[in-house]
Structure formats: structure tokens, C-alpha cells
Amino acid sequence: MKLTINNESIYVYTGAKSLAPDRDTIVFIHGAGLDHTVWLLQSRYCAHHGWNVMALDLPGHGRSNGPALTDIESMADWVVQLLDSLDIEQAAVVGHSMGSLVTLETGARHPQRVTRIALLGTSLPLAVSEPLLTAAQTNDHHAFDMITLWGHGHAARLGGHPVPGMWMIGNTLRLLERSRPGVLYADLRACNQYQTGLDSAQQISCPVLLVMARQDRMTPVAVAEELIHSIRNPHTVILDDCGHLMLAEQPDQVLDALKSFLSAGPN
């Protein structure tokens, strides 16, 4: 589905279903340098099982035009602009990596618009190493290589995947390579500069799910502990034998965690 926000054409994947006013809505937010395609399994399932689905391409990503937004707060406000453009009063918001920060900030800044949030592959701070930032700033392919290497768990780097013929390493590289110049750097810099997350976490009143992975070297479970303690009554799921790019490595397990959480009643 194509929309116009701030005079720019924006793409939102709806799972091949029309949005219906009598259905609850889920917004899916991708990570740095990526797009809506990382959510294909989860978004399509939800669209065919009773939810309105909006797996968005942030400005400058995927099929969306315009410059990339440069801070997490602006991205969170933009998500609410998206809801406004479709006359959607409330939604559950799900985000991975950078998208998890946007999800957290959306819940804190716009609590009346968010029914529940799910944070996947998250930590605070979500620090980005200087070599990665420098490579991304100069549009050096090494930035894609570093994310691909650090983002996958051990099994993924060996080539194993439950879907026959799927090569996770190559797929990640191709997806990052099609990002526009400067977009990955803008995203990583926004993550690195986001300093108010713990304060925002303390403002969250809706139900919260955190999905983490034991082999995640980009947002380690240990670094997420302070965030977990800042949230009232969080639901936590930890995936074994999985790295940061859990949507590709363990898509079914991620979907199971989301199904259980999104279908639950209020806390």
C-alpha cells in the first residue's frame, strides 16, 4: 500500500489484506538499513489471522521515498503520523533492533495510541562501534560485512536454516546492499545517540514483550537487563542458539512469542 506523508510516497505492507476498521492493528518496524521484508512471515501470518497489519518502510528505506529520519524521537512521531493518515486510533507496535527503540519511544511519547509493544533484539544503550559507524558514514561495504558477521549466531554462519535453500548470510548482505547511500549511517547514528531510553521505559504503562537471543553480540542480553528492570511487569522470551538477526534465524519462534503476547488480554 502506498501513502503520502509529508509530501513523500511511503510504502506499507499489509499482508495482502485490506485494512478493516473492526480489526485490531499491529505496526511492524524494521531495523537499521533494512525494510519491511524482514517481517514477511510474522506480518503475513497476523494479516491472515484477524489483525490489520502495517509492516512499514521508514522514510528513505525500501519502497519509501524521502530522506532518512535522523533520530529515534522523530521516527516515533512519524509512526503516529502514519496512524493518523489512516485514521487508526490505536495499535500494537512491534520493532526489531533500531525498530525496538522506535517502538519504545512511540509507547512513551504517545501512550494513548499504543495498546502494547514488543521489543526484539533490543538493549539500552544500543551502542554502535566506531569502526562500524565510520564504515557506514563512508558507504564502505565493510559496514554490511560487519553487521552480517556480528548479527548472526553460530549456526547461521555455518549455513543451517529450517527453510531449504535459504542462505541467511547472503540474504542479509543483499538486503543491506540495496539500502541507499547514507541511510545505514543515519540509522546507526540515531541508535548510538539515543540516550533517553531508560527514562522512556519507565513511562510505559501498556504490556511489554522483550524477545532476546543468547548469541546476540549486537544487543547482548546482559546489556538489556537495566531496560528490563525499568519496565513494569515485562514479559521476556530468550531464544537459544540464535543471534541478533532472529527474524531470519528463528522466524517460527519469534512468531510464536508474538502470537502469544498479541493475543493475550490486558495485564
Q: Which three cell numbers stand for residue 154?
A: 553460530
**Which pLDDT value is given to residue 266?**
44
pLDDT tens-digit readout, 24-72: 999 999 999 999 999 999 999 999 999 999 999 999 999 999 999 999 9
pLDDT tens-digit readout, 118-149: 999 999 999 999 999 999 999 999 999 999 99
| Secondary structure (H, E, C), 9-74 | EEEEECCCCCCCCCCEEEEEECCCCCCHHHHHHHHHHHHCCCEEEEEECCCCCCCCCCCCCCCHHH
For 180, which DSSP code?
A: P
> Helices (DSSP H) in the chain: which residue ranges?
40-47, 72-85, 98-109, 130-137, 142-151, 154-158, 168-177, 183-193, 197-203, 225-230, 246-249, 251-263
**How many other CB atoms are found less than 10 A from the CB of residue 112?**
8
Greatest Cα-to-Cα distance within the chain, rounded to the nearest angstrom: 48
Give me the residue spans of the domains in the chain: 2-263
Alpha carbons 253 and 114: distance in angstroms, whole number: 24
**Which pLDDT value is given to residue 263?**
86
- 59 preceded by cis ω (within 30°)? no
CB 223 within 8 A of CB 247: no
Residue 267 has pLDDT above 50, yes or no: no
- Across the range 256-263, mean pLDDT stands at 94
pLDDT tens-digit readout, 39-49: 999 999 999 99
**Which pLDDT value is given to residue 224?**
95
Class of domain 2-263: alpha beta
- Across the range 9-33, mean pLDDT stands at 96
